[in-house]
Structure 1
């Protein structure tokens, strides 16, 4: 009974020269009509040769043939086919910083644009592979790491990572010649430095700037930078992408957004922009009812504006949600704000720390 070949390089010696040409072209992602044009043979001949290849190598379908072409070394990701009769291409060269860039947005559904034009990144698993690379800060990732990050405990039947990398290289292609956006080094795959702009990296740069103006006591500039960072969020980060890595990053980036919003609101309150800040805090507290620092900041702002009844309502709503959802009482921070309002104390109206730190329960 024939068996599926995955990494046995000599297996391709079972093929005739014309069959190796077809397998090489198929491994590059070409359709039958494109293979026929490249090899100058009728399309039905391509289909016949591919059928013989599947039988000889014990492969179940075209997808398995593509994986085999990578695994046996017939096709090298990013360099096209090794068979010279199928559109040979020169060795990949690194993109210079002055060249065109691909812009990748992860702060919402994954998007990529080149020169302002949207790119087709394929299905969700393939997009998830790109997301892992984009969030790895230049670190090289092996095939095993990518499999674990995207598929977790349920890896695919075949190692499809090389196929996905090849397709992503084609999708992200910049300039003439082979696509250099994704490279493979000794330790694995990584995005070429200077070839890609990622919105998450831009947010981190803005946060660094925000911390500087925080220390310098520049509230107007802090509010402006916070708003600029928040504008980069287009919804739930990595929305819809599968895998354990995407799930963890989704939580981390959501918390990043909430922290930025709280920082901006705290500065707005210190600037006396109470009406605008309170309206935003109400909306945010509805979306995040278990966020105690936010509830405390809202209660203090309402109390400062003479809205004690509304402030007490915020406390009661937070208390019920904490009890119902988590089975815990309000934190010491929230209780302290509640007692302040009940006493009518106007001497303790300090707003939340800009770092958003919390106290113990």
Structure 2
């Protein structure tokens, strides 16, 4: 086996699915398909016959399903579950059986590649909001109590770290929220695993939900511990409100609403993000289910819409449609009087532009900061389907544009240290963003930290080569040359 190769065992009872996985996990990208199984019963023998770094496991198979097959592996090889999210209980079951992550079958190929690499490196690959949902469903149908020793074994700081991990924060985000280093976060996690007998981060997330450390409502914090502004709950206001700049959530006044399974939430998102527009049944099916339509076909739409109307309707409201209307051409969301965080995002973005044009750079920075604070994770986190994925990409690009605008404004104001601190954290989450890397280098250069600026270039160049197979663009190369020239010729003017 070549150093750096990731050996993958594919387990799925559909040859067409395995063929698609083989096309995505290519040898030239560092993957080797070590074997294939058409049923979970074949997995132990396949693992005994060859070395495997990751098992990509389908959950629904005819004889031995993915849950039982994962249980039989017993944690000896990390399992990445492959699911369509048709059944929350299946996903909850495979997490309890020992899977360290899961991925949707209709996810982009890039997500599968990142997921396999993360699992092979010993990390978890899961979404806290979705995990909260499936574990809540599991507990309703199960008499089992929380597993493992009580959380009282943990110190207050370890409990803070576990709470943050349970809400889906990365090590970098936890470090920023608790004002500690990433190394300290890793040390805390190691002690948490040892004290509670947890095998990995995925098990820690399950434990956090099981013991009420995070609530089953999209990973919200259940006590008064401080949380970063980007993940705090919005203040209660009257009326119906939606948030899509993170896990999809809704409130009527200050009361959170249960929006149901992730496919139902994806259907709601496809309507809410197009207020006043009639969306046909075929377009909804394509947008929410993609290439894998539900077995019941279009008959699932009226069922989901009925459930959504019921949960969105105000107490005592008698109108049959609530905010989702039925027309001859399909369904339409009535956005009158409804608040959504994307509208506030657009307003703050416009305010920033107007303030910059007027020369009030400080006010423009404040508007950018307020807009960025609306994000509390990946937009539409955990929602499946092409529509949600397209919106996720669009809103993520908008967030990056705000980071870029804010940093440029701060550099013009001479706030170099603030830019360096903020962009260092951002690039830990978005390491391929060249404009942000160039701005971070300029901020570090301005504060005399030239070696760190050059190191930023090296890390970005290496990630671009490894992940995308490309070289840095002209802006980043030009910034690098300017820093290097200053190092070589510190007394040369300009």
Distance 1:260 1:226 in 2: 6
Structure 1 residue 147: Cα displacement: 0.7
Distance 1:314 1:217 in 2: 31
Could you state the TM-score of these two structures normalised by the residue count of structure 1? Answer: 0.66
Is the Cα–Cα contact under 8 Å of residues 210 and 222 in structure 1 kept in the other structure? yes
Is the Cα–Cα contact under 8 Å of residues 181 and 196 in structure 1 kept in the other structure? no
The one of 240, 259, 270 equivalent to 2:412 is 270
Per the alignment, residue 160 of structure 1 pairs with: 300
Q: Which has the larger radius of gyration?
A: 1
The one of 382, 389, 394 equivalent to 1:247 is 389
The one of 184, 194, 219 equivalent to 2:336 is 194
Could you state the TM-score of these two structures normalised by the residue count of structure 2? Answer: 0.49
Structure 1 residue 195: Cα displacement: 3.8
Distance 1:191 1:327 in 2: 43
Is the Cα–Cα contact under 8 Å of residues 296 and 333 in structure 1 kept in the other structure? yes
Distance 1:137 1:215 in 2: 30
Per the alignment, residue 224 of structure 1 pairs with: 366
State whether structure 2 residue 453 is matched by structure 1 residue 311: yes
Greater Cα shift, 220-229 or 318-327: 318-327
Is the Cα–Cα contact under 8 Å of residues 340 and 348 in structure 1 kept in the other structure? no
Bigger relative contact order (CA 8 A; separation at least 6): 1
Distance 1:238 1:211 in 2: 26
CA RMSD, Structure 1 to Structure 2 (Å):
2.1
Distance 1:348 1:144 in 2: 64
What is the total number of aligned residue pairs between the two structures?
A: 251
Per the alignment, residue 37 of structure 1 pairs with: none
Is the Cα–Cα contact under 8 Å of residues 299 and 314 in structure 1 kept in the other structure? yes
Per the alignment, residue 287 of structure 1 pairs with: 429
Per the alignment, residue 279 of structure 2 pairs with: 141
Distance 1:315 1:324 in 2: 14
Query: 3-state DSSP class of the match of 2:390?
Result: helix
The one of 260, 265, 274 equivalent to 1:122 is 260
Gapped regions of structure 2 (runs ≥ 5) = 1-237
Per the alignment, residue 211 of structure 1 pairs with: 353
Is the Cα–Cα contact under 8 Å of residues 132 and 149 in structure 1 kept in the other structure? yes
Within 5 Å, give how 1:47-66 maps onto structure 2: none
State whether structure 2 residue 248 is matched by structure 1 residue 110: yes
The one of 331, 337, 342 equivalent to 2:479 is 337
Distance 1:348 1:162 in 2: 71
Gapped regions of structure 1 (runs ≥ 5) = 1-99, 350-361
Structure 1 ranges of 4+ moved more than 6 A = 345-349
Distance 2:260 2:418 in 1: 41
